């Protein structure tokens, strides 16, 4: 039993080393700028986890470190958690959550201004499988407390995954999503995020992804490199 566990751990460590070596090589090819104002490529480091509490209940938790540049120069720190309930149809989940967001925006003097936001949100997730495609729909309503302001926003997220059958284990997959944001303000459209990337399944419940995202803000857009880790236990 111990020998089997040791071999599994050794195999996982080897896969991790290969993944991060490839990741380091990829990042080395990306130019880095010390000045956020001169950089058109940002970087988001994302951890998303879900812990099963009982047959129907789960604890959601995530941390996102968003940077103006490929490395460093914090743009936004996001911490989100919530309690979810899986319905009788195992492909449907309701969740009530809370998020804390620290944004560091540049002002006209090229100086950062910290902005604190507390966020309450409700969401519904629906999962589907169509042939080899795994689809995920997420509907989210947010109540945002930004310093002295209060705002409400709706978000719809559509994700698709397609396994790449290039090995017996089928560990690699393609991933894409689109998410649009609608505001309950004078300007109805808030933003849209379009993402495409490749993922690797380290083990059951642990996935790593790397991809490219474009965020469109109505009159401007920004590109982001996304590094994502999913942990489902």
pLDDT reported for residue 37: 44
Is residue 23 assigned to a domain?
no
Nearest in space to 196 (alpha carbons), one of 175, 214, 215, 179 = 175
Is residue 126 assigned to a domain?
yes
Is residue 20 assigned to a domain?
no
pLDDT reported for residue 32: 44
Q: Compute the distance between CA of residue 162 and CA of residue 199 in angstroms, rounded to an integer.
A: 10
**Single pTM value for the model:** 0.83
b/e map 217-231, b = 16+ CB within 10 Å: eeeeebebbbbbbbe
Is residue 5 assigned to a domain?
no
pLDDT reported for residue 70: 76
pLDDT reported for residue 109: 83
pLDDT reported for residue 30: 45
The number of distinct structural domains making up the chain is 1
CATH number of the domain bearing residue 89: 2.40.160.40
Quote the tokens at residue 68. 């103006």
- Domain membership of residue 189 as a residue range: 31-232
> In the chain, what is the greatest distance between 2 CA atoms, to the nearest angstrom?
63
Is residue 125 assigned to a domain?
yes
CB 88 within 8 A of CB 76: no
Is residue 184 assigned to a domain?
yes
Is residue 4 assigned to a domain?
no
Is residue 17 assigned to a domain?
no
pLDDT reported for residue 89: 86
What averages of pLDDT result for each successive group of 10 residues across the chain (233 residues)?
48 51 46 47 94 96 93 91 94 98 90 96 97 97 97 98 86 96 92 96 93 90 91 86
């Amino acid at each position: 039993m111990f020998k089997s566990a040791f071999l599994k751990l050794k195999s996982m460590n080897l896969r991790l080393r290969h993944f991060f070596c490839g990741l380091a090589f990829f990042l080395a090819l990306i130019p880095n700028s010390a000045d956020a104002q001169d950089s058109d490529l940002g970087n988001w480091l994302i951890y998303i986890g879900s812990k099963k509490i009982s047959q129907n209940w789960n604890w959601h938790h995530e941390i996102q470190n968003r940077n103006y540049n490929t490395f460093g120069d914090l743009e936004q720190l996001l911490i989100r958690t919530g309690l979810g309930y899986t319905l009788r149809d195992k492909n449907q989940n309701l969740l009530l959550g809370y998020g804390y967001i620290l944004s560091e925006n540049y002002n006209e003097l090229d100086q950062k201004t910290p902005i604190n936001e507390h966020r309450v949100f409700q969401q519904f997730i629906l999962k589907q499988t169509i042939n080899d495609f795994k689809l995920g729909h997420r509907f989210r309503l947010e109540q945002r407390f930004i310093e002295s302001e209060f705002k409400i926003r709706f978000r719809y997220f559509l994700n698709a995954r397609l396994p790449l059958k290039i090995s017996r284990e089928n560990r690699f997959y393609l991933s894409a999503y689109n998410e649009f944001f609608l505001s309950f303000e004078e300007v109805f459209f808030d933003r849209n995020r379009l993402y495409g990337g490749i993922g690797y399944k380290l083990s059951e419940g642990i996935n790593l992804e790397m991809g490219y995202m474009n965020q469109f803000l109505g009159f401007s857009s920004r590109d982001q490199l996304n590094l994502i880790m999913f942990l489902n236990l």
